[in-house]
Amino acid sequence: MKVYTDGSAVPNPGPGGAGAVFVDDDEDFIKEIVYAGGEDTTNNRMEIQAVIMAFDSLPLDESVTIYTDSQYVKKGITEWITNWVKRGWLTASGARVKNMSLWKELLACTKKYPNVTVEWVKGHNGNRWNERADELASLGTDYSTQGLTGIQDVTQPDTVDNETSELLKECDQFINCLADLKKRVLAKNADTDRKRANVEKNLEKLQIYMAYLREASVDIEDS
């Protein structure tokens, strides 16, 4: 199993939310959850909370990879935290570690779930489920502005049928092609700004279309 997570606060600090999408090893959808983090939080806190939320929703004995697009979370749990603990939760400069309570909770999760690893994925780079986790984090932020808190399971039954799933995969391929094209355009000197603007505009259109397909599939199932 794989879990894609994301967190956000808008503004930062401000209302925040976290999202997690659960997929199988073939990247097929399983479920998704949202966390409403309240009206006064930070982006970093929600990024950590998203991973904690993912851990807490997993079976104990399953091998799982949790993906985060936050280098703060990835490096924090895999590199920095050992020295933080040794120093009594102090940084190298002697300051208290920020978000210490959440880091302690996340550390406990890694010990409770030894078969789970946390990896980094580049955000906003055409990864279908990373983009969906971002949408869920925004949804959690919306919930927070409405006064809601806590975890919400927002999974829709049969959210994506087989035909729609294939269409979404094709959209992912188009987006990856555009991302590659963007890199090649930026490597050239002629008309770089104009071409970059066109590529980014088309990439945004495809991302919107992919999200539309997902929502349309839910509407069809519910009709």
Q: Residue 71: its pLDDT value, please?
A: 97
Q: Residue 98: its pLDDT value, please?
A: 96
Q: Residue 155: its pLDDT value, please?
A: 84
Asked whether 43 and 15 are in contact (CB, 8 A), the reply is no
Q: Residue 183: its pLDDT value, please?
A: 64
Which two three-digit tokens encode residue 99?
A: 């978000």
Domain ranges of the chain: 2-155, 159-223
- With 50 as the cut, is the pLDDT of residue 218 above it? no
Active site residues: 6-7, 47, 69, 124, 134
* Max CA distance (Å), the chain: 59
Q: Are strands 2-9 and 16-23 parallel, antiparallel or unpaired?
A: antiparallel
Q: CA torsion, points 202, 207, 208, 210, in degrees to nearest 10?
A: 130
Q: Encode pLDDT of 7-19 as tens digits.
A: 999 999 999 999 9
Say whether domain 2-155 belongs to CATH 3.30.420.10. Answer: yes
Q: Residue 153: its pLDDT value, please?
A: 86
Asked whether 109 and 77 are in contact (CB, 8 A), the reply is no
Stretch among 13-17, 83-87, 125-129, 152-156 having the lowest mean pLDDT: 152-156
- With 80 as the cut, is the pLDDT of residue 217 above it? no
Q: Residue 148: its pLDDT value, please?
A: 85
Asked whether 185 and 196 are in contact (CB, 8 A), the reply is yes
Q: Residue 149: its pLDDT value, please?
A: 87
Q: What is the mean pLDDT of residues 113-133?
A: 94
- With 90 as the cut, is the pLDDT of residue 90 above it? yes
What stretches of the chain adopt beta strand conformation (E)? 2-9, 16-23, 29-36, 64-68, 116-120, 150-153
Chain-wide mean pLDDT for the chain? 84
Q: Encode pLDDT of 138-158 as tens digits.
A: 999 999 998 888 898 888 755
Asked whether 134 and 34 are in contact (CB, 8 A), the reply is no
For residue 18, the 8-state DSSP code is E
